[in-house]
Amino acid sequence: MQSRIAASLKSWLDTDPPPAAETGLRFGYGPSASDLLEDVRAAALHPPQATQAEARQFHIDYNAGVGLEPKFWREAALDFRRGAIRRRIALALTSPVGFGERVFSFWADHFTTTPKSYQAMPLQVSLTDEAIRPHVAGRFVDMLKAVTLHPMMLIYLDQNLSVGDHSVYAAGRTDSGLNENLGRELLELHTVGLDGPYDQNDVRETANLLAGLIYRTGQGTIYDVRRAEPGTETILGVDYPEDSVAEIHRLLDNLAAHPATALHLARKLAVHFVADTPPQSLIDRMAEAYLDSAGDLTAMYEVLTGSIVNRSPVPQKLRQPLEWIIACLRALGVSGADVAALPADLFNRVIVDSLGAMGQPFDQCAGPDGWPEHEDEWLAPNLIAARLVWARSAPEQILAALGRQIPDPALLIARHFPRPCGPMVTWSPRAETVQFGVASVLCAPEFLRR
C-alpha cells in the first residue's frame, strides 16, 4: 500500500519543480488572467490517487479481513488519507502558480465529507480525486452530479439509510424510512444555499426524490426503485413525477441552473479568495457570468481573478492552516519532490498532526458546511499558538531531513516579499535564534494573510 502510493506520487513529480511565482513577478511580466485559468485546467488533469473501484475493493477486503490483522487494516486505511495530504501538498508546491490547486481545495471543501469508518477512507480520496478534480475547470453541474451520486457522499449524509416511507421496501418493515440529511444539505450547502428560496417541504420532497439511491460495496452506486417514494415530488415549484436516476439528474440540472445557486457559489468563491466581506458587485458579476455560460466555472474564475479588488496591496484574507503550511514550505524552498521524499513518521508528526493542532485536521471537518471563512474563527489563541509552535520547530526539522540548512530570516523575507514592508523587516533579523527569526517571518501578519 505504502509503496504503491509512494510510486504513484513519484510519477507526478518526475519533473523538477518550476520556479516560484514570485520569481515570475520579478524576472518575468507577472501572471496574466489566462495563466491562472490554464493553471486550473492543468489541475483538472491529474489522475486519481485512488479510483472508486480500488476504494470499493478496499471496503470489501477490509470487511472480509483478508490476510491482515485489524490494526494493519486501519493503518492501511489511514495511509490513503496520509497519501492524500502528501499529494495535496506536493502538487501545490509543484504548480507554478498554485491557483488550480487552491480551486481544487475550495471545491473539496464545498463538498465536504468525513469518513465515519476506516473502510470508507479510500472512498473519500476517490470522491475528491474523481468526482471533484476533473470538473474544477468545467461545468458545475457535472461536479454536482458526480459528487451527489458518489458512494462517499451517500454514506456521509446518510442517504444509504434512507428509504421512501411509502416505498415497496418499507411496506411491512418498522425499521426503515426516510432520512432528510442529503436532501437538506444538497439545497442548503451544495446548491441554492441557506438564503435560497426553499422551505422544509422542499427538503422533504428532495429527500423523497433521492430515496432509492444507495451504495453497495459490490455494485457501487445503484438506484433501487423498491426504495423509491411513490408519487410526484415538487421541488422549488418543479414537478418530478418519475422515480428514476434520470429524474434525479433533472433535479440536479435544475438546481445547478438556479439563479440562487449562481449567487451562492459566487459569494462563496469571493469570500474564500478575496475577502471575508467581498463587494456585492463582484458577486453579482460572477453570478451573471455563471448563468450566461450555462454554469461554466472558468467564467466565474475569470471575473474573480480579473477583479480590481485584487489589486489592493493590503492582505485581505487569513490563510487557513493547510494553505499557510503550503505557503511556508514554498517560501522555504521545499519542492513537491522533497515532500514526497520525507520519512513517514516525520511527515505524520510535522504535517498531519500539526494540521489538527491548528484546527484543520485534513478532510475531517466537523460538519458538512466545510471550514469557516471568517478570520475571527482562526484567530483563537490556541490556534495561533499552534502555528507559532510549528513555525519555530517544523522548518528546521523538515530542512534537516532534506540535508539543508534553515535560511537566514532576511533571505526568507527577500525571497518571499518582492516589496517587503512592515515591522517584520526590522525585527525578524534581530531574533535571538535563526529558528525564531524564521518563525517570526512565517507568523508575521503579512505572511499569515494574503
Partner 1 sequence: MDNHITCEGGLGDDLVHVATAPGEARLVVINLRGAMDGLDAVQPYGDPALRALRGPDLSVGPEGGAFDLDGFFALHPALETLMPLWRAGQLSFIHAVSTPYRDRRSHFDGQDLLATGSANRDRPDLDDRSGFLNRLVACIPGATLQLAWSSGAMRPLIANGPAPFSNWSPTTQLGLTEADIGLLRHVYGADSGFALALESAVLSEAAQGGKTAARSDAAFVARQLVAEARIATFSIDGWDTHAGQAGIIAGRFRQLAQAILTLRDGLGPVWDKTVVVVVTEFGRTARANGTGGTDHGTGGVAFLAGGAVRGGKVHGRWPGLTDLYAGRDLMPTADVRDYLAAICHAHMGVPADLLSNFVFPGASVACGLVAA
Binding site for partner 1 (CB under 8 A): 158, 161-163, 165, 170, 174-181, 184, 188, 194, 199-200, 203, 357, 359, 366-367, 369, 372, 374-377, 379-386, 388-389, 392, 422-424, 426-428, 430-432, 436, 439-440, 443-445, 448
Taken in order 333, 336, 340, 346, is the CA torsion positive or negative? positive
CB 297 within 8 A of CB 36: no
> What's the min distance (Å) between Cβ of 243 and partner 1?
17
Residue 342 neighbours by CB under 8 Å, 6+ apart: 86, 398, 401, 402
Which CB sits closer to partner 1, 138 or 177? Answer: 177
CB 346 within 8 A of CB 100: no
d(CA 434, CA 248): 59
Q: Side-chain half-sphere of 377: how many Cα atoms within 13 Å?
A: 12
Which CB sits closer to partner 1, 247 or 373? Answer: 373
Burial of 243 (0-12, 13-18, 19+ CB in 10 A): buried
DSSP string computed for 252-311: HHHHHT-HHHHHHHHHHHHHHHT-SS--HHHHHHHHHHHHHTTSBHHHHHHHHHH-GGGG
> What's the min distance (Å) between Cβ of 193 and partner 1?
10
> What's the min distance (Å) between Cβ of 356 and partner 1?
9
Which CB sits closer to partner 1, 65 or 197? Answer: 197
> What's the min distance (Å) between Cβ of 162 and partner 1?
7
d(CA 137, CA 134): 7
Which CB sits closer to partner 1, 12 or 169? Answer: 169
Which CB sits closer to partner 1, 48 or 368? Answer: 368
> What's the min distance (Å) between Cβ of 270 and partner 1?
18
> What's the min distance (Å) between Cβ of 448 and partner 1?
7
Q: For residue 193, how far is the Cα from the chain centroid?
A: 18
Angle value at C-alpha 215, between 207 and 225, nearest 5 degrees: 60
Which CB sits closer to partner 1, 180 or 242? Answer: 180
Residue 291 neighbours by CB under 8 Å, 6+ apart: 257, 259, 262
Which CB sits closer to partner 1, 160 or 298? Answer: 160
> What's the min distance (Å) between Cβ of 84 and partner 1?
21
Taken in order 276, 33, 282, 198, is the CA torsion positive or negative? negative
> What's the min distance (Å) between Cβ of 421 and partner 1?
12
Which CB sits closer to partner 1, 250 or 392? Answer: 392
